[in-house]
Amino acid sequence: MRKSFDKHWYAWAMVLPTVVVLGVLVFYPLVQGVWQSFTDLNESNQREEICTRILGGAETCEPNPDAARFVGLDNYVDILTGAQGSFWLQLTNTLVWTLACVTLHYGIGLGLAVILNRNFRFRGFYRVALILPWAVPSFVAAFAWRFIFDERFGIINGVLRAVGIDPVSWFEQRWTSLFTAIVANVWLGVPFMMVALLGGLQSINGDLYEAAEIDGATPWQRFVNITLPGLRPVSSTVILLGTIWTFNMFPIIYFVTRGQPAGSTEILVTGAYRAAFEGIRDYSLAATYGVLILSILVVYASAYKRMLAKQGEVF
Amino acid sequence: MTTMPPAAVAADPVETVAGTRTPLPRRRRERSVAASIALHGTLVVATFIALFPILWVVLSSIKPASEIRRTEVELFSSPTLDNYRRLLTETDFPTWFANSVVVAAFTMVIGIAMSATAGYALSRFNFPGKRGLMWVFLLTQMFPVAILIVPIYTIMANLGLIDTKLSLIIAYCTVAVPFCAWMLRGYFDTIPRELDEAAALDGLGPFSTFWRIILPLARPGLAVTAFYTFLTAWGEVAYAIAFMQGSDHYTLGAGLQQFVPQFSPRWELLTAGAVLITVPAAIVFFFAQRHLVAGLTAGGTKG
């Protein structure tokens, strides 16, 4: 032990601040959150003691008779049977949202990366211009797209009117409303994918392409047999991260659709947030949502990892 | 995670620092006119889509309020800076802006310090608990805001930190540090170990090696980390809305939504605010963008 400390103390010293902060502010809250999901904690019963101040300034405290208590799996049953909130609707939205966003992020990002990896005039300009949406904070982008899709003053409906098509009430139908959010998020997320994939492309050995060309491979064959396999390590990472990030993406839905119409475009994360901080604050319900979201992601990540391992990828 | 040899970067980090070389796998050849048109056409369309929303918000912000509320599409109409004047003098926007600057700056400095040291230790030393820590970093990416926000809220309330900037700085560091440490670890991996060994021979301890040899070489990685932490803090809303209570304590993320209530949104103030919020982010971006490809991909994808 002593010897191990002498040898590794500087490594530990370097990671210590991070570990402490993560421990106190990620793992302790995580444990507490899981615990809260088994209670009926809300705004009105969160105090463990009720203190009354009597005349003269002394204070007496007694246990709160209505304090939050352990309720077992009640929250989970309520959520999964639909007695509280609308879990299944929000789960469907989340899946559609994640699948659509990640597919488009990756597809468009890959296309642009392949183009930008060639040599042509103004390449630097295009590259900077295409990354620019990344620099826009997500809530600003959300408001910008809300403004663009605005039913009366938005430019999209303005253009539709100008060419003689009836304007669309984007936020009055579930799927058109979700569509606006997906557009906003795709706009915001493509640059990250593009940059990551561009880096991956640049690490592929150019000789491979030359050899394939000599062997008479068509551009498509080169793409499928050299580019895609060469990108595999990068792709597997960014798709995993992208899925997790999109799944938990809060500001776009929260500000673009605001759940309109009538909460039917809420995803799980925004649903949980509204449970926790809007109306009567139901902390235990939000915590239960959180546990369910986390479980879904952990299952997804391990399935993903297993799939990669099966394909011979060392994760 | 997966191991990707970032050949170009690893071979010569110093050259990438200067940003002088962008490796191209394919040499320039003659391209047919049709192919050329297709290539530039695609890029022009993509660039237009990327830039249009930004441009439209900028153009709208210099229209008078009455012109924004018109249904006809017009790019320019009686440009004025009146929205900006009203935003800066009649609302709390300047206070929110100042709050956000403080929060983002501290998050950036603390975040870089923590993730750089942790990333270096993960890259160079084999110590007990290293693998576990790597997994923890990846795992934290999966935590939804929903599960952490209430317990963190309670902790902050017990510490009396609700409604203070410090609570946000701490919360943002927990969001940004794991990813940045992971990314920087990958970047440090591309800096040859021989440099460390040479420094040790010359009598430098691990800390001064890190500070005097490695950090200066890791500037592209650090630039990306700075960009990422700054943007995390500058653009975060969930914690900001939950933690900050008085309008004079709001950061931009919490404040801006006040301009667009459900009914009668004030788009003229919102667009002007959006432009002013994006400018600092764009400046940070401008300094970091040269390094984005090298820094992010060397790090973000290596594990």
- A60 forms beta bridges with A52
- Asked if B293 and A21 come within 8 Å (Cβ–Cβ), the reply is no
The one-character DSSP state at B174 is H
Of B25, B71, B121, the CB nearest to A152: B71
Give the angle subtended at the CA of B231 by the CAs of B233 and A202, to the nearest 5°: 145
Q: What is the CATH number of the domain that holds B171?
A: 1.10.3720.10
The C-alpha atoms of residue A268 and residue A278 are separated, in whole angstroms, by: 15
- Asked if B140 and A22 come within 8 Å (Cβ–Cβ), the reply is yes
Q: Is residue B271 part of a domain?
A: yes
pLDDT band at B30 (very low <50, low <70, confident <90, very high): low
Chain A residue with minimum CA distance to B21: A202
pLDDT digits (tens, 9 = 90+) for B243-289: 888 888 888 888 888 887 777 778 888 889 999 999 988 888 888 87
Q: Which of chain A's residues have a Cβ under 8 Å away from the Cβ of B251? A: none
Of A14, A291, A297, the CB nearest to B142: A297
Q: Which of chain A's residues have a Cβ under 8 Å away from the Cβ of B289? A: 128, 131
- Asked if A118 and B26 come within 8 Å (Cβ–Cβ), the reply is yes
Q: Is residue B68 part of a domain?
A: no
Q: Which of chain B's residues have a Cβ under 8 Å away from the Cβ of A76? A: none
The one-character DSSP state at A50 is E
Q: Which two tokens stand for residue A27?
A: 């793992």
For residue B253, what are the CA distances in angstroms to A39, A247, A265, B28, B89?
A: 31, 21, 22, 46, 19
pLDDT score, position B80: 81
Interface test with B, best of A5, A161, A202, A245 (most B CBs within 10 A): A202
The answer to whether the CB of A277 falls within 8 A of the CB of B137 is no
The contacts of residue B217 (CB under 8 Å, 6+ apart) are B13, B14, B17, B191, B195
Distance (Å) from the C-alpha of residue B138 to the closest C-alpha of chain A?
Answer: 9
Identify residue A128 by its one-letter amino acid code: V
Of B39, B129, B262, the CB nearest to A120: B39
Q: Is residue B40 part of a domain?
A: no
Give the closest residue to B289 by CA, choosing from B247, B226, B239. Answer: B226
Of A141, A276, A297, the CB nearest to B150: A276
Of B155, B237, B292, the CB nearest to A195: B292
ipTM exceeding cut-off 0.85 for this assembly:
no
CB pairs under 8 A between A and B: 331
The answer to whether the CB of A282 falls within 8 A of the CB of A40 is no
- Asked if A137 and B235 come within 8 Å (Cβ–Cβ), the reply is yes
pLDDT score, position B29: 55
Of B147, B270, B274, the CB nearest to A294: B147
DSSP code string of A123-156: HHHHHHHHHGGGGS-HHHHHHHHHHHT-TTT-HH
pLDDT score, position A26: 83
The contacts of residue A35 (CB under 8 Å, 6+ apart) are none
pLDDT score, position A236: 85
The one-character DSSP state at A165 is P
More confident site: B264 or B86:
B86
More confident site: B295 or B116:
B116
- Domain locations along chain A: 38-72, 74-310
Whose tokens are 């979201």? That residue is A293
Q: Is residue B15 part of a domain?
A: no
Distance (Å) from the C-alpha of residue A56 to the closest C-alpha of chain B?
Answer: 26
pLDDT band at B15 (very low <50, low <70, confident <90, very high): very low
Chain A residue with minimum CA distance to B111: A18
Distance (Å) from the C-alpha of residue A193 to the closest C-alpha of chain B?
Answer: 10
Q: Which two tokens stand for residue A246?
A: 């999109």
The answer to whether the CB of B119 falls within 8 A of the CB of B191 is no
pLDDT score, position B101: 92
The answer to whether the CB of A248 falls within 8 A of the CB of A273 is no
Q: Is residue B148 part of a domain?
A: yes
Count of domains forming chain B? 1
The C-alpha atoms of residue B179 and residue B229 are separated, in whole angstroms, by: 10
Distance (Å) from the C-alpha of residue A84 to the closest C-alpha of chain B?
Answer: 17
Chain A residue with minimum CA distance to B283: A135
Q: Which of chain A's residues have a Cβ under 8 Å away from the Cβ of B118? A: 14-15, 17-18
* Residue A133 CB neighbours (<10 A): 20
Q: Is residue B3 part of a domain?
A: no
Q: Which domain holds residue B252?
A: 91-300
Handedness of CA B135, B141, B145, B149 (dihedral sign): positive
CATH architecture of residue range(s) A74-310: Orthogonal Bundle (1.10)
Per-residue pLDDT of chain A (315 residues; tens, 9 = 90+): 566 667 777 778 888 888 888 888 888 888 888 888 888 887 777 776 677 777 666 777 777 766 777 887 888 888 888 777 788 999 999 999 999 999 999 999 999 999 998 888 888 889 889 988 988 998 999 999 998 998 888 888 888 888 888 888 888 888 999 999 999 999 999 998 998 888 888 888 888 888 888 888 888 888 888 888 888 878 888 898 899 889 988 889 988 888 778 888 888 888 888 888 887 788 888 888 888 998 998 899 889 888 888 776 544
- B16 forms beta bridges with none
The answer to whether the CB of A286 falls within 8 A of the CB of A40 is no
- Asked if A136 and B22 come within 8 Å (Cβ–Cβ), the reply is no
Q: Is residue B242 part of a domain?
A: yes
The contacts of residue A307 (CB under 8 Å, 6+ apart) are none
pLDDT score, position A2: 63
* Residue B268 CB neighbours (<10 A): 25
The C-alpha atoms of residue B265 and residue B271 are separated, in whole angstroms, by: 11
